Structure 1
Amino acid sequence: ATSFMASMHCRAARLQQLQCHFTWDLKKDVDLKNLSTRLQDHIKLQLGQRGAVARSYSFLAYVRYSFHKEALSLLNQSEETIRERHGDESERRLIVTYGDMAWLKYHLNLLPLQVKYPTGSSASLLPEVYGEQAWTYLKLSKSYYLQAVDSFRKALEIQTDDIEWNAGYAIALFRTEEETEEPPSIKQLHFALELNPDDAVLQSMLAVKLGAYKKYKEAEGLLKKALKTDPDNPHVSRYVGKYFRNHHQLDESIDLLERALKRTTQSSFIHHQLALCYKRKKIAEQSHKYSSVESSSDSCLFRFGDFHYHHKRNEAQAIVHYTKKLKKIAERRLSRNPGDGEALALLGQVARAEGNRKEAAEFYEKALNCDKDNEEYLSALCELRLELQ
């Protein structure tokens, strides 16, 4: 028994020296079902750079390692895909996959433990390892994005012009940086596109960034290229849809996102983008509906909101003006008639737009008390109660 325990301790110590998903201290405090779905979509739709599908197989094996047979199959598919795509360069790119295999066999208590490739010291890794680590952080959750930036930088210190690491670094910067006069992501996206001019995802992301800085001509040229190059890629659709939403082309955004949803039905990002489009469309419609029956001073404020919305392209300011005015209109109507269900529902809509779901639910409950058979109020209340659970 002592000999067996010593052997297990020795194996565990050797395993800790490997570079793989099992040793990167990945906290599984994320929605694993959602992560599994995203990785399965990447595999099914063959999304990403040429090494992306192999990485998705390997990462999915780690996420589902308790399903041992499935996980082993996924790792074998990862190895096969890497060998098909990288040929003579495969061994360095198999370091993480082999490390995951060794850990999985340890959990299955399979002997002997065989690690097919040494990983080097933990202080200085090969760029292929830094790159795979960075992509893992990027796919895992928002809390790991800054670690992704750091790992991509380390990979690029060694392989400056690598297409995959430059693309990943651009995406990581896009997701993490604050708005500044010259955001680093714009420069990095341009550089990544110099290395790989036909990457439609990077084209659509750069368009979103350029649009935010009023460089509309270049942005719209990139959108056309992206939609021509890879029109069915849901990642392209989601960023082009975001551009349309940011620039008030809500119908175009909704159409594009709904088509993308047919290819990746469980995408939380696309569902969220669609929800934002519908919410903003409804706010705009309600604003104009009420402005047509209120005073001239109210209409002036609505026109001020329209100015921000259509001309200054400042959607946030426009929504602030619209919601402020809607609230004022609703409160005025309630002062005249405390049982005005439509006004109470309007306050519920404003509270929901501002993120106050509990307050919104309370307003819709009051609205239903005034108009018990109103399906719109009931539907909104049910949605809010689900969100509050």
Structure 2
Amino acid sequence: MSSHQSTNLKARVLQLECHFTWGLNKNDRDLKDLLTRLEEQLNLTLGGETGVARTYSHMGFVKFLLGSNTEALSYFERSVELTKSHGDDCYKLLVVAYGDLAWLHYHMGSFAECESYLNKLSNIKEKYPIVPYAEVLGEKGWTFLKFSRKYYKWAKVCFSEALKLDPDDSEWNAGLAIVLHRTEPTFQDTPNSTAINQLRWAIDTNPDDDVLKIYLAIRLLGQNQYKEAESLVEKALERSPEHPHVLRYVENYFQGQGSVDRSIALLTKTLEKVSSKAFIHHQLALCFKKKIINLKKSGRQHLEKEEILHSQEQCINHLKTAVELNPYFVIAMSELALQYGQSGDVYKAEQMFQNAFEAAKTIRDNYQSVLLCYAEFQQYCMRCEPAALKHYIECLKINPNSYKGKRCAENLTKIAKRRIRNDPQDGEAFGILGIVHKEKGKKQQAIKYFEKALSYVDNEDYLSDLSELKISLQ
């Protein structure tokens, strides 16, 4: 092939709509964990024939990212076979699969095969000249939704655009419902919330999707619509009593109701049915953590001492198993470190926190979660307020508007106000309130607190830092 032909072929490949051209970064996800989840989905044959074909495409791309070109090729070819079995109306669905194969063959130096698939794509475009196709937008949406939560906003855009072309498609409606459920905080729900309305519509277009029913039930709890929520859960469990995803999210529903023991029983049952067990062990640990809190709040903890100790042991064991199964499960590592600290094993806690920080840096995710847990460890386990303050502030600055950022702001505010009650001239405490308000974007309140802090502080280094913070707001 001449240099001109190679350049032309590369230009055509770069214009494809496929996994390779959608800007997916392999560092945004633990690929081995994603592969395990995809294999689990394949074993359960979730999503019907279309869903299975899509899963093979996802697996092919992950295999490529892991360096296994031959396996990737096999998975992409299997996706094409399954898609073709849909009959004469399957060709729009083949756009992504043919694109993947063209791109992979180009990457492997198989230029004739690459050109063959590019020609097949040209034939599809001649037959169906209106682009973009809803099918391509939908496949792109599912890819973003499956690959990493960092791409959820793009998944939402894709599903929304696909539905403009085909408003009644059950798959795209389900995809949009899922991404809205995952991105919109439940505490912001109103009777007419976007997530609730979309979930209702998605269930209407696909009454057999029992996972969507559980999502809606969880949201209805926040609206105190217990009767409808309970009815949805009963229907889902009646239709899909063994479906691991239904059982997994029913556990979240029971937790919302406070039924911890029912959650533990369901999750234990789910463990027997899924290959991706790390997530379930983490959820079980959180259930036992909730049980410990409930027992301590009952006012009978002296009578429930053995049950509390048993629950603490179970919580730690499930977290250890989760981390063993997934060494990059940062949230589980942080929680395990915190549990070690609460049980008095400070050495193990520090060691696990360092592992969590390293893992978070490696996968470039969940660093804020580790900081929050470490700050709480310093405050409540080590009783070291300066270290707690340092890490709360660092955590807050990463994203003040996230749930973790708001938790940090609340904790910092409580510490500062307690100190001011004890000493109305505590300049550092006023400085903390200034930082909280600065990160929240409340400039005038921040300046007011910084001015108060400057009037009381006599430490020159701290005075200089506060002055710089104040100046940056003016």
- Same fold, TM exceeding 0.5? yes
Shift of 1:261: 2.0
Distance 1:359 1:167, change over 3 A: closer
The answer (yes or no) to whether the contact 1:91–1:117 under 8 Å persists in 2 is no
Pair 249,378 (structure 1): closer, same or farther in 2 beyond 3 Å: farther
Residue range with higher mean Cα deviation, 146-155 or 118-127: 118-127
Q: Given that residues 204 and 222 in structure 1 are in contact (C-alpha distance below 8 angstroms), is that contact kept between their aligned partners in structure 2? A: yes
Which of 273, 291, 312 aligns to 1:263? It is 273
- 1:228 match: 238
Q: How does 1:45-64 map to 2 (within 5 A)?
A: 45-64=44-63
Q: CA deviation at 1:141?
A: 0.9
Q: Structure 1 unaligned runs (5+)?
A: 294-351, 369-376
Say if 1:9 and 1:171 are closer, same or farther in 2 by CA, change over 3 A: same
Identity %: 40
CA distance 1:289–1:257, change in 2 (3 Å): same
Please say if 1:117 is aligned against 2:126.
no
Alpha-carbon deviation of 1:122? 12
Q: CA deviation at 1:269?
A: 3.7
123-132 or 233-242: which moved more? 123-132
Check the 8 A contact 2:135/2:162 in 1, yes or no: yes
Distance 1:50 1:188, change over 3 A: farther
RMSD between aligned residues:
2.9
Give yes or no for contact 1:234–1:264 (8 Å, CA) kept in 2.
yes
Q: Does 1:144 align with 2:142?
A: no
CA distance in 2, matches of 1:254, 1:91: 46
1:251 counterpart residue number: 261
- Is the 1:163–1:192 Cα contact (8 Å) retained in structure 2? yes
1:94 aligns with 2:98: no
* In 2: Cα distance, 1:289 partner to 1:189 partner: 40
Contact 1:361 1:384 in 2 (8 A): no
Seen in structure 2, the aligned counterparts of structure 1 residues 50 and 208 have a Cα distance that, compared at 3 Å, is farther
**CA contact 1:134–1:148 (8 Å) conserved in 2:** yes
Residue in structure 2 matched with residue 172 of structure 1 by the alignment: 179
Amino acid corresponding to residue 32 of structure 2 in structure 1: K
Q: Which residue of 2 aligns with 1:83?
A: 84
Deviation at 1:123, TM superposition (A): 11
TM-aligned CA distance change 1:290 to 1:217, over 3 Å:
closer
1:17 lines up with 2:15 in the alignment: yes
Supply the distance in 1 between the matched residues of 2:107 and 2:275 (Cα, whole angstroms).
Answer: 34
* Deviation at residue 226 of structure 1 after TM alignment: 0.7
| Count of paired positions | 317
How far residue 388 of structure 1 moved from its aligned partner, in angstroms, is 5.8
Once residues 290 and 358 of structure 1 are traced to their aligned partners in structure 2, the CA distance between those partners, rounded to angstroms, is 27
Q: Which residue of 1 aligns with 2:464?
A: none
Cα gap change, 1:282/1:123 in structure 2, threshold over 3 Å: closer, same or farther? farther
Does 2:212 correspond to 1:207?
no
The CA deviation at 1:83 is 2.2
Q: Does the Cα contact within 8 Å between 2:83 and 2:93 map onto a contact in 1?
A: yes
Preserved contact between residue 231 and residue 237 of structure 1 (Cα < 8 Å): yes
> Structure 2: which amino acid aligns with 1:9?
T
Contact 2:163 2:169 in 1 (8 A): yes
Q: Decide whether the 8 Å contact of 2:341 with 2:349 is kept in 1.
A: no
Hey, what's the Cα distance between the residues in 1 that align with 2:265 and 2:338?
A: 32
Shift of 1:152: 0.2
Residue identity opposite 1:82 in structure 2: T
Q: Which amino acid aligns with 2:77?
A: N
Please state how far the C-alpha of 1:251 moved relative to its aligned partner.
1.2
Query: Is 2:239 aligned against 1:219?
Result: no
Separation (CA, whole Å) in 2 of partners of 1:95 and 1:267: 34
Identify the residue that residue 126 of structure 1 maps to in structure 2.
Answer: 133
1:328-382 per-residue CA deviation (whole Å, 9 max, x = no partner) reads xxxxxxxxxxxxxxxxxxxxxxxx99x7877765565xx46xxxxxxxx998888
Within 5 A, what are the aligned runs for 1:1-389?
A: 4-29=2-27, 30-65=29-64, 66-84=67-85, 86-112=86-112, 113-114=115-116, 115=118, 116-118=120-122, 124-178=131-185, 179-181=188-190, 182-288=192-298, 292=302, 364=343, 367=344, 387=356
Cα drift, residue 5 of structure 1: 3.2
State the distance in 2 between where 1:151 and 1:363 align: 45
Q: 1:169 to 1:363 in 2, by over 3 A?
A: closer
Distance 1:265 1:154 in 2: 34
